[in-house]
Amino acid sequence: MLEWFKSGKSLPKRYVWEIVLGAYEHFSKEESLVDVDVEDGVTIDVIGDVHGQFYDLLHLYSLTGEPSDKHYLLMNGDLVDRGSWSIEVILTAFAYKWLYPKFMYINRGNHEAKDMNSTYGFEGEAKHKHGDQTYKLFAHVFTTLPLATLVSATKPPNVKNSKDILSPEGRKRFFIVHGGLFSKDEVTLEDIRKIDRVGKQPGTSGLMCELLWTDPQEMPGRGPSKRGVGIAFGPDVTKRWCTLNGVSGIIRSHEVRQDGYQIEHDGLCTTVFSAPNYVDQAGNKGAFIRIDSTGHQEYSQFEAKPHPPIKPMAYVQGGLGNMMM
């Protein structure tokens, strides 16, 4: 399939539906907060936004390796829109989910949503390549994607730091979510787990919206979002939430970082972004984060790869639109 995609061919619609429905079978059984334990000898790579940049995704997968019983992948939302190979990206990720449901995980991003897909290209691309009904299938399956993943190390940390916030069992665990934290302090992991997400769009308020849309800020407290949706949350908000929930750190995506990643909020909030040279003009590196069974994190950066001469947002009427992520 990957070779087929690289040569510019489209899959027959029947195979597209089989892959999407195969992945759907697993997403629909997962809770809104998925628990992933990283056992001894296992690693998991956290991948940020890839935004339809298929040729960069191929390079990224060559660095991470495919999902396996010793190496899991977690894609943290915004697989589609902007880049003009969103179908190829999402079908590759969904095929891995169908094949390896316990080794491949995908969180929903704010772009796995109808209003964004109609504006930023995925709807047009899906209809162009596979027809209206196929787009509607994707739109529903996007609502079954989990909203966050709790990655738990199964061994105590190699180096114990007095500042570390650990789980009740004395282990590191990381809350992986596309956007970030909330407009109120007392939200628990259990509250997130119980969100009724299937069939629903993120909207402009509430827990689902905030999980997918919020951003960190340098100032303490909370502030207005630069996006007009969600909020911005400060380092004190992050520390209180991590302490309340026994979480060692938040890993989120949703924003370009020139180095591909940035560690913020006194080490408690890390942004990872995996679309290098975003929309062919940002000049940024991509990155991914590898976590092992002790909770140790390793950061890897990569550069953009050449792609065929199709511009970003090729399937959007009226050109590039605005650049809000």
Which are the catalytic amino acids? 111
246: left (phi over 0), alpha (psi -120 to 50) or beta: left
Helices and strands of the chain, counted as H and E runs:
10, 14
The residue type found at 288 is F
* CA dihedral over 47, 278, 203, 246, signed as positive or negative: positive
Q: Rounded distance, CA 234 to CA 182, Å?
A: 11
- Sheet-wide strand order for 43-47: 104-107, 71-76, 43-47, 286-291, 297-302
Listed in sequence order, the DSSP H helices in 34-131 are: 54-64, 86-99, 114-120, 122-130
What's the first-to-final CA gap in the chain, in angstroms?
Answer: 29
Tokens of 54: 């298929």
Number of residues that this document lists for the chain: 325
Contact between 187 and 207 under an 8 Å Cβ cutoff? The reply is: yes
Q: Rounded distance, CA 223 to CA 46, Å?
A: 27
Helix 86-99 vs helix 54-64: crossing angle, to nearest 10: 30
Element (H, E) at 26: helix 13-27
